[in-house]
A and B are shown apart, each in its own frame.
Chain A
Amino acid sequence: MGWNLIRIYTLLVYLFMFLPVAVVVLLSFNASQFGSFPMTGFSFRWFVELAQNEAILRAFQTSIVLGALTAVISTTLGVLASLALVRYEVPGRNLISTLLIAPILVPEVVLAVALLLFLNFLAINKSFFLLLMGHVIFTLPFVILVVQARLVGIRRDYEEAALSLGASPVQAFFQITLPLLAPAVFAGMLFAFTISFDDITGTLFWKPGGVETVPTQIFAMLRNSISPEINALGTVMIFLTVGLPLLGLAIARRMAMQRGG
């Protein structure tokens, strides 16, 4: 009896989490010219309009380039730091971990203000560079957490075996360690990309005038009125940010299985 109650309660909680999002997807296929109920028919017209909207295409381009660069830089820094923290006896390990995690302990608004004002003081104005630095710094802690969790499971023996068999440290790193690290690196990059792609809080502070990412573009469009185009854009975003990690998960699992088998 009690258990059934909890089951129904949980179902309602899941509905609360997903129903509004499902409605976004549903309405994006609405043939009606207003972005609202009732559904008058099934249509792809909003996706077609989306594909012809210059501003949205530019926003996608910006978001993808920004996300990719953020992922590469943040993961490079994160993997190196994680290697040090997991593989070596570093004095003051806890303090260092806390320092590296600090960007998520500081409210993002405060981080955004501090970075904007400081870089402006250094004569670096609102620019793509500022945006990139901002995205790197707040994705870094997440990358470090994810990569560290994966690194713990990788044994050091293989690397030591390679070294004792005469490989140089650089050779050992690129031929033994890096391939073993690949799933961790991959997970870190995916995570950083997704977080960067989704960010709006910091981005609104850092972006130069005229440059929009997908979330800030949606935000700007919301100020007018909600149109089916926004729902269509939302649907594309959902398929990208949910589909990509699921694909990544599948690839990571396959890679892990190949190694195991």
Chain B
Amino acid sequence: MSVEARERRQPWILLSPALTAVGLLLFVPLMFIVVYSFWLRTATGADQAGFYFDNWNEALTDPFYRDILLSTLRIAAITTIACAVMGYPAAYFIARARSNKALLLLLLMLPFWISYIIRTMSWINILGVSGAVNWLLLNLGIVDEPVQMLYNEPTVILGLVHFLLPFMVLNVYVALEGIDISLEDAACSLGSTRWQAFREVTLPLSLPGLAAGGLLCFVLSAGTYITPLVLGGPTDAMFANLVFEAIITQLNWPLGSALSLMLLAVLGALVLIYNHYLGMAQLMKGLG
């Protein structure tokens, strides 16, 4: 074999294990659940292979599923906006900080290493019946008995914001860091105020980072089922909880497949729209 031919083949040899893994463990399974979603669960428990629309009919027309899908998207949207409002100024501060920048960045990375389940359950210590806030309220004489603040939609959102905020801050920071600071100075020297300079120069230039952070926050919060189980009440199920119920509890795998694909379609469409307008590069910058 010539050197050139070997040179041409080598990258494919290096790539083949990873591509095979992604193919066999992601793409083929995804195609498989498309097929599976048309099968039927029978009373005997065995799934009937075939081409039935029953699951899709149920998933798409039952108002129960539609309502939960809508409330999931609402929760994800509120979470994303809260992350942006809380995260942007913090990211701006880190990007422009003159001292302690390394420390601020290190601290920003820490939450990524702290277990998600621990961070989620930590709110029980704060807001629970015997948590810090109730202890404070009781001791200050504001309330006579503990108040139940947990297990509702706001606490689900609180948990999600707490989990996803670092993703937002990091993405906005990466974008802000790439903007030449002298641009703002130039705007100021041309007569604009600091605030104008920020609003008309820095903010627009940092929008790709904000969008990348927003996409991550939205997709990750819309796909969660652990946070509602830990911090939500019985009526606070999100769409992924329905998938979990169908697959693990009811063992209705064909219906579970259809529900999973619905979630994938909605969130996948968002990723595609994002990719069309902004491309994946900004997202990869924030993740790497």
Chain A: residues with CB nearer than 8 A to chain B?
A: 2, 6-7, 9-10, 13-14, 16-21, 23-24, 27, 34-38, 76-78, 80-81, 83-85, 87-88, 90, 96, 98-111, 113-119, 121, 133-134, 136-137, 140, 142, 144-146, 148-149, 194, 197-198, 200-201, 204-205, 214-215, 218-219, 222, 226, 230-231, 234, 237-238, 241-242, 245
Contact = CB atoms under 8 A, between A and B. Distances in A.
A118 B30 CA distance: 8
B43 interface: no
Contacts of B135: 36-38
B120 to A, nearest CB: 9
Contact of A115 (B25, B222, B224): B25
B158 to A, nearest CB: 10
Contacts of A24: 118, 121-122, 125
B288 A10 contact: no
The SS class assigned to the B binding surface is helix
14 contacts: A6-B93, A36-B131, A76-B17, A88-B11, A105-B271, A109-B260, A113-B243, A113-B256, A116-B247, A118-B33, A226-B121, A226-B128, A234-B118, A241-B114
Contacts of A16: 86, 162, 165
B132 to A, nearest CB: 6
Interface stretch (B51-59, B205-213, B261-269): B261-269
A2 B184 CA distance: 15
Contact of B225 (A90, A109, A148): A109
B233 to A, nearest CB: 14
Contact of A27 (B111, B125, B264): B125
Nearest to A235: B118
A178 to B, nearest CB: 14
B115 A234 contact: yes
A17 B226 contact: no
